[in-house]
Structures are given as structure tokens and as C-alpha cells.
Amino acid sequence: MDVQTILLGFLMYMSMTGYELKKFFEISFSFFSGLSYGSIYPALKRMEKTGLITMEVQVQDGTPNRKVYTITEKGRTAFVEGLKTPVEFERQKHPLLTRLFFFGFLPSQDRVRIMENYLRSVEKMHREVEALRPHIPQHADQYQRLCLEYGIRFLRDLAANTAWLLEAIQAESDTSEDAQHKPSGGAS
């Protein structure tokens, strides 16, 4: 889903400032979306220009003025149409698998170290998403709760698969010589 559709979806609930949209994005999508915070404000400007949202400046004393964004009827229609588009599996960028393909060129201790670091990062992400569990249900509808549960299960499974891979690499490292994994003709 693109940043425009996500932002329109947030604005379907209520009008929000850019800061509030960033916070919603952080809580809801930062763990499983490749979209960045940097894409939010340019998208808001484009959406305002195309009439999908309006922006109202609320003057405040002693603090910066607030820019509050509200979805228009055109924006509501665009959101629903965007939500209806078919969802197909997308190829994922997976830097670990790309690197794993060439692990034969590394000494065993480097292979193990890389896998251990990756496993720790996946487990950390899993803990962070799991920590959201007590906070989300009180504010979420059933589909948002399902999204959270899916994300938790996905990260749990990724950690399990990574642990399996680490065990296989450790076992291989224990039973083979590093020389067998070096490219032929290369310098040691």
C-alpha cells in the first residue's frame, strides 16, 4: 500500500496534524512497511494539491501553529478505491538471503557472527512489536488487532527460521574445513 492510501486511511478516523500522522504511522506501520517518515510530508502536499485533503492552520499562542489535515469526499473515494485494489505477494528485499547465497566465501566465524547479529535484530523487533500488544487492543478495531497479531506471528516465525539457519551454519562450521568454502584460485 502506498503512503497516500495509508495517510488517507488515518484521516478517515479523524483530522490530524502531520505530527499525529507520523505517530500513527510509527505505531501502526513502521515495523512492516518500507515507507519512511520522509515520505509523509511530500505526500500530504501532493494530496492537498489534488484535493484529497484540506489543510487548516490553527494559530496557537506561544507554540508553533498547527497544520491540521482533513480528508475530503474526493479523498474518501480515493481511499476506498485504493483499498479495493487486489493484493498480490510482493518480492521482498531480504539482504540476509542475498548475503547467505555467498557465505561460502567467508570464514565460518564470520558466517556465524552475521547470523547471530541478524537473529538478535529479529528478536529485538519481535519484542518491540509484542510490547505493543497491551496498548493496541484498547484503541484498535478487529482488523487492526489481526494486523498486530499477524506481525507478531510473522516476526516469531522469522526468528524461528533464522535460529534454524544459524544452527545449520554452526553445525556445518563444526564439521567442515574453511578451506572447502574458499573460491578456487583465490588468495587466502
Per-residue pLDDT tens over the stretch 68-80: 999 999 999 999 9
Average pLDDT over residues 127-143: 82
Q: For residue 161, what pLDDT is reported? A: 96
Q: What percent of the chain has pLDDT over 90?
A: 53
User: Chain-wide mean pLDDT for the chain?
Assistant: 86
Q: Evaluate if residue 55 carries a pLDDT over 70.
A: yes
pTM, two decimals, is 0.74
Q: Evaluate if residue 1 carries a pLDDT over 80.
A: no
Q: Evaluate if residue 47 carries a pLDDT over 60.
A: yes
Q: Evaluate if residue 173 carries a pLDDT over 80.
A: no
Q: For residue 156, what pLDDT is reported? A: 96
Q: Evaluate if residue 178 carries a pLDDT over 60.
A: no
93: DSSP letter: P
C-alpha cell at 35: 515507507
Q: Evaluate if residue 121 carries a pLDDT over 90.
A: yes
Q: For residue 179, what pLDDT is reported? A: 46
Whether the Cβ atoms of residue 69 and residue 22 lie closer than 8 Å to each other: no
Q: For residue 183, what pLDDT is reported? A: 54
Number of H helices, E strands in the chain: 7, 3
Reported as a pLDDT band with limits 50, 70 and 90, residue 33 is low
Specify burial of residue 179 (Cβ count, 10 A radius: 0-12, 13-18, 19+).
Answer: exposed
Q: For residue 188, what pLDDT is reported? A: 42
* Architecture category of domain 3-84 in CATH: Orthogonal Bundle (1.10)
Reported as a pLDDT band with limits 50, 70 and 90, residue 186 is very low
Domain boundaries, the chain: 3-84, 95-179
Report angle CA 24, 154, 142 to the nearest 5 degrees.
50
